[in-house]
Amino acid sequence: MSIEALLKKDVNSHTEKKNNLTYLSWAWAWAEALKADPTASYKVEMFGDKCFMDINGTAMVFVTATMFGKPMTCQLPVMDYRNKAIPNPDAFQVNTAIMRCMTKALSLHGLGLYIYAGEDLPEEGGRPDKVVITPTQGATENIPIEELRYLEEVAVDLIAMCEQGDPKAAWVKLESENLDSEQKVALWTLLPSKVRTALKKAKEI
């Protein structure tokens, strides 16, 4: 199975929705990855003796999935049912985040990529352009790489919420992030114009 075939694959019957976000079954995703590439592998990135990066008492996990000889790394905060970062997460919560992060890393290879853009079905030929985030030139130059990766994760979540018809929830999430002015500018440039418009309207409701 090629990357193009993975981009076209309908994964809807293996997803579940929680708080306006769509999650793909990690076990099914990994099985499909092995069908596509029997040599596929994934690695949890380590930070010293920890399998997560400590960020002000919360945690960010990083997973690298390798398919077709190409490694792709994705990151994910350890979050609660409200999709908020958990202070001092326990082992179960970290493990859950790792498996979700592995699934998102697989999406970078094409499997279920469309659901992270809030789309209902994959289009013929896939839709990688829907989740390619290109910031305004210079807007992220002073943002540390760890922060930028987190902002990109937030951007993907906001895009998904707006595409699923809940811009108000996206606005609430945006406000809950408590970003400083520089981070807000950087995040804003990561969002498509239609999402920025939807957020502005949601703010006025």
pLDDT in tens, 9-43: 888 788 776 655 677 899 999 999 999 999 999 99
pLDDT in tens, 140-154: 666 787 788 888 888
For residue 124, is pLDDT > 70?
Answer: no
Computed over every residue of the chain, the mean pLDDT equals 81
Q: Residue 137: pLDDT band by 50, 70, 90 thresholds?
A: very low
Of 61, 68, 124, nearest to 94 by C-alpha is 61
CATH number at residue 64: 3.30.390
My answer on whether 88 and 189 are in the same domain is no
Which of 78, 102, 129 lies at the terminal end of a domain, its last residue? 129
Phi/psi of residue 2, nearest 5 degrees = -95, 170
Q: Residue 136: pLDDT band by 50, 70, 90 thresholds?
A: very low
Q: Residue 118: pLDDT band by 50, 70, 90 thresholds?
A: low
My answer on whether 117 and 39 are in the same domain is yes
* Residue 104 exposed, middle or buried by CB count within 10 Å (0-12, 13-18, 19+): buried
Our count of domains for the chain comes to 2
> Which range marks the domain in which residue 43 is found?
3-129
pLDDT in tens, 63-111: 999 999 999 999 999 998 777 899 999 999 999 999 999 999 998 888 9
User: For residue 170, is it within any domain?
Assistant: yes
Does residue 131 contact residue 156 with C-beta atoms inside 8 Å? yes
How does 66-103 read in b/e, with b if 16+ C-beta sit within 10 Å? bbeeeebebbbbbbeeebebbeebeeeebebbbbbbbb
Q: Residue 134: pLDDT band by 50, 70, 90 thresholds?
A: very low
Phi/psi of residue 127, nearest 5 degrees = -145, 55
My answer on whether 29 and 121 are in the same domain is yes
Q: What is the pTM of this model?
A: 0.58
User: For residue 91, is it within any domain?
Assistant: yes
